[in-house]
Amino acid sequence: MTDDIAAELAAKFLAAPVVPLIEADDPATAVRIANALQAGGLDVVEVVLRTDAALDCMAAIVQETSGIIVGAGTVLTVEQAKAVAERGAQFVVSPGLVDDVARFCIDKNLPFFAGTMTAGEVQRAYALGLRSVKFFPAKLAGGVPMLKAFSSVFREMKFMPTGGVSADNLGEFLALPSVVACGGSWLTPKDAIAAGDFEQITKLAREAVELARAARP
Ligand code: 3PG
């Protein structure tokens, strides 16, 4: 990723600081989900490596949509980080912090959101050179009060809370200046995908954009 794309990611987060997760079994469905999210105003998506077709799904969104920034999530190993980078991932998200994955992404200029939930993990991420991390699982790990405590000591660190975020608490997280964006699967419900109800996904995206605007006028 070039600095220009990093800047583009930051600009998109300013407009709509929400990252929907996409978990799909086939590339065509993944593209429809991404288009539905974009129609609702969300154009940064994270394709999670949790299905056999996940890499193909991510690559299809990269190739068949425009104006969408596509990241890869649930990246557990350096091998997976290499694979998603080769297939066009523009950012990488992990549930935890593996130093080798962090170093690979830093080396490739790929924005990397390592999962953290303790001060020790945030500090290790900081020492590795990361200035943005995922906060996971955000709700169970202490939610807004925990992030406030982190931000008082890690003043430069930005957080992407994910895990238990929904329309009910999105505004509370986004009210924190240290939150760069919130991630979550609530925008892409499995039952809507199974039913082919992509309009519901667009509605959920629109609702999230409105909530984000209210939290950050
Ligand atoms: C993740 O991969 O970040 C989490 O599984 C997302 O959690 P959620 O399903 O509660 O949004």
Return the domain boundaries, the chain. Answer: 3-210
Dihedral-angle region of residue 159 (phi above 0 means left; psi in -120 to 50 means alpha; beta otherwise)? beta
Q: Is the pLDDT of residue 165 over 80?
A: yes
Residue 23 annotated among the catalytic residues of the structure: no
Which helix or strand (DSSP H or E) is residue 115 part of?
strand 112-116
Residue bearing the CA closest to ligand 1, atom 9: 185
- Sequence-separated (6 or more) residues with CB below 8 Å from residue 196: none
| Residue 189 CB less than 6 A away from ligand 1 | no
Q: Is the pLDDT of residue 203 over 50?
A: yes
Q: Which residue has better confidence, 5 or 112?
A: 112
Residue at 115: amino acid letter: G
Q: If you average pLDDT over residues 34-51, what whole number do you get?
A: 98
* Separation of CA 106 and ligand 1 centre (Å): 24
* Separation of CA 161 and ligand 1 centre (Å): 9
**For residue 3, what pLDDT band results from cuts at 50, 70 and 90?**
low
Say what the pLDDT of residue 1 is: 44
Q: Is the pLDDT of residue 217 over 90?
A: no
Say what the pLDDT of residue 13 is: 93
For the four alpha carbons of 199, 205, 211 and 213, in that order, the dihedral sign comes to negative
Give the ligand 1 atom nearest the CA of 74: 2
pLDDT, one tens digit per residue, over 50-62 is: 999 999 999 999 9
Q: Is the pLDDT of residue 201 over 60?
A: yes
| Residue 73 CB less than 6 A away from ligand 1 | yes
Give the ligand 1 atom nearest the CA of 186: 11
- Sequence-separated (6 or more) residues with CB below 8 Å from residue 195: none
Q: Which residue has better confidence, 170 or 14?
A: 170
Which position among 12, 23, 134, 139 bears the catalytic label? 134
Q: Is the pLDDT of residue 169 over 80?
A: yes
- Going from the C-alpha of 155 to that of each of 36, 149, 151, the distances in angstroms are 36, 10, 5
Q: Is 201 in contact with 29 (CB distance < 8 Å)? A: no
User: What is the topology classification, in CATH, of domain 3-210?
Assistant: TIM Barrel (3.20.20)
Give the ligand 1 atom nearest the CA of 93: 3
Which position among 12, 23, 46, 139 bears the catalytic label? 46
Q: Is the pLDDT of residue 2 over 80?
A: no
**For residue 74, what pLDDT band results from cuts at 50, 70 and 90?**
very high
> Could you identify the residue written with the tokens 């997280």?
173
Residue 8 annotated among the catalytic residues of the structure: no
Say what the pLDDT of residue 5 is: 73
Share of the chain above pLDDT 70, in %: 99
- Hey, which of 136, 186, 188 would you mutate to test ligand 1's pocket, going by the most ligand atoms within 8 Å of its Cβ? 136
